[in-house]
Amino acid sequence: MEFNFMFYSFASFFLIFLFRCLFKFFKSNSRELPLPPGTLGWPYIGETFQLYSQNPNVFFASKQKRYGSVFKTHILGCPCVMISSPEAAKFVLVTRAHLFKPTFPASKERMLGKQAIFFHQGEYHAKLRKLVLRAFMPEAIKSIVSDIESIAKDSLQSLEGREITTFLEMKTYTFNVALLSIFGKDEVLYREDLKRCYYILEKGYNSMPINLPGTLFNKSMKARKELAQILAKILSTRRQMKLDCNDLLGSFMGDKEGLTDEQIADNIIGVIFAARDTTASVLTWIIKYLGENLSVLQAVTNEQEAIVRGKEKCGEEQTLTWADTRKMPITSRVIQETLRVASILSFTFREAVQDVEYEGYLIPKGWKVLPLFRNIHHNPEIFPDPEKFDPSRFEAAPKPNTFLPFGNGTHSCPGNELAKLEIMVLLHHLTTKYRWSMVGANSGIQYGPFALPQNGLPIRLTRKP
């Protein structure tokens, strides 16, 4: 009797559970919107290799041509919806930004640190953004122009008369500027240890997240742990010396901010990541485009030499100031056009915090959403003859939501002023004091994760007589 009672009780509960599930299924199915068109590729791997091993223009354009401006795919272990119109980018990044939290695949969060600014929204994000802007806004970085200039001059001088790989050397330059902006003039004390660990970390950044001994991902995670230990020592030293610094670390360490050491470390590592390879990629492309467009190079050189002559005429020191960098409109347009054509950041990651409807399609909760900046920047209806390098197109301001090299909305890059400053400073000395010639064939492009000139753009750099 007791067994029968238990059996019938279980059966009753099971039937009730089954009916509820069926009811929810049919109810949801009756309202369910279709997923965007597209393919998900291989299990787990998805279409990751196709994205990172070929011309991103080809990958994205072929998808858009076949499926339209909204389509699904699967990369880095995540189901994704990709969007490729200015209207869609505005929807995700600005008008409905609260429905999409900034995110990266879990493997990226583990490498950079889950407390980094990239992965949050709301009050915590707002506080971090305020602290970063406090260190990177024009009023703050005006004071380090001369220090950035010293790094630029030393970098170029060390390369004179040599055949170099442009991207590797620009990575060193931007890494040193990033450390300066984070740690102030004390960065030289930590530079080599931080560089050693960070270089290992970055090698596995776009590897498959397989944490087995010997894999790139495993080596990167070990380097990430050591990097956090180095930062912990730096924090301890600053507290012991009771230094009051105006750099990014000082901004993070303010007593009233209440950030933990883990939060500070995650955000320092995140800022290094954001500040280094992207800016180095832009500089590499600028050097290539200037070398291929001699009339543009001459215009930039004339503009920079005019600044030098102006200082000589006034008897001023030949040291760049913030005011000098405001006298570089042609150079500024070259930077803008490079950001458009090269589209260093092809897309950004967001994650739907709830089911979202867009243009009749369902974007399921938890799916990644990728606004495709590259597609927007190469849309011939927005930028005629989009493959042509033509800085003059920026003599007029682009239409809203069509030029997004630093993202858009509350999560746009807070370090864009610093990036533009370090590019301008290096270009000033490069064009006024040096010549360069490209070595070998340079028509090819390599990928992973950023699009770069083939072999990182080998050049020979010589000083002008």
Q: Which residue has the tokens 């360490």?
A: 253
Phi, psi of 223 (to 5 degrees): -65, -35
The number of C-alpha atoms within 13 Å of 27 and in the hemisphere containing its C-beta is 6
Whether the CB-CB separation of 38 and 71 falls below 8 Å is answered with yes
Confidence band (pLDDT; 50, 70, 90) for 43? Answer: confident
From 124-128, 271-275, 389-393, the region with the lowest mean pLDDT: 271-275
Q: Which residue has the tokens 């001994």?
A: 213
Predicted confidence (pLDDT) at residue 451 exceeds the cutoff of 60: yes
Predicted confidence (pLDDT) at residue 104 exceeds the cutoff of 80: no
Highest mean pLDDT among 86-95, 194-203, 234-243: 86-95
Helix (H) or strand (E) holding 206: none
In this predicted model, what pLDDT tens digit does every residue of 58-96 receive, in sequence order? 778 888 888 888 999 888 778 999 999 999 999 999 999
Predicted confidence (pLDDT) at residue 195 exceeds the cutoff of 60: yes
pLDDT of residue 53: 67
- Rounded mean pLDDT of 295-316? 92
Q: Which residue has the tokens 């069926």?
A: 22
pLDDT of residue 448: 62
In this predicted model, what pLDDT tens digit does every residue of 108-156 receive, in sequence order? 788 888 899 888 888 998 999 999 999 999 999 999 999 999 999 999 9
Indicate the pTM of the whole model: 0.85
In angstroms, the CA 154 to CA 422 distance is 14
In angstroms, the CA 428 to CA 430 distance is 6
From 162-176, 392-406, 407-421, the region with the lowest mean pLDDT: 407-421
pLDDT of residue 127: 92
User: Cis link prior to 449 (omega < 30° from 0)?
Assistant: yes
The single-letter code of the amino acid at 55 is N
Confidence band (pLDDT; 50, 70, 90) for 187? Answer: confident
CA–chain centroid gap for 157, Å, is 28
Predicted confidence (pLDDT) at residue 398 exceeds the cutoff of 90: yes
pLDDT of residue 255: 64
pLDDT of residue 64: 85
pLDDT of residue 449: 64
pLDDT of residue 348: 86
pLDDT of residue 165: 96
3-class SS of residue 434 = strand
CATH superfamily of 31-463: Cytochrome P450 (1.10.630.10)
Instruction: Tell me what percent of the residues of the chain surpass a pLDDT of 70.
Output: 90
Whole-number average pLDDT of the chain:
86
From 30-44, 253-267, 294-308, the region with the lowest mean pLDDT: 30-44
Q: Where are the alpha helices (DSSP H) in 315-415?
A: 322-325, 329-342, 373-377
CA–chain centroid gap for 462, Å, is 31
Phi/psi region, residue 347 (left: phi>0; alpha: psi -120 to 50; beta: rest), is beta
Confidence band (pLDDT; 50, 70, 90) for 41? Answer: confident
Cα 81 to Cα 108, 211, 345, distances in angstroms: 18, 27, 17
Cα 269 to Cα 60, 101, 402, 423, distances in angstroms: 30, 20, 30, 21
pLDDT of residue 291: 95
CA proximity to 62, closest of 39, 45, 80, 31: 39
Phi, psi of 305 (to 5 degrees): -70, -30
314 carries a ligand binding annotation: no
Highest mean pLDDT among 3-17, 158-172, 208-222, 233-247: 158-172
More confidently predicted of 210 and 170: 170
Crossing angle of helices 294-314 and 329-342, rounded to 10°: 150
- Rounded mean pLDDT of 167-178? 95
In angstroms, the CA 98 to CA 125 distance is 13
Cα 218 to Cα 18, 201, 229, 232, 286, distances in angstroms: 44, 9, 17, 22, 34
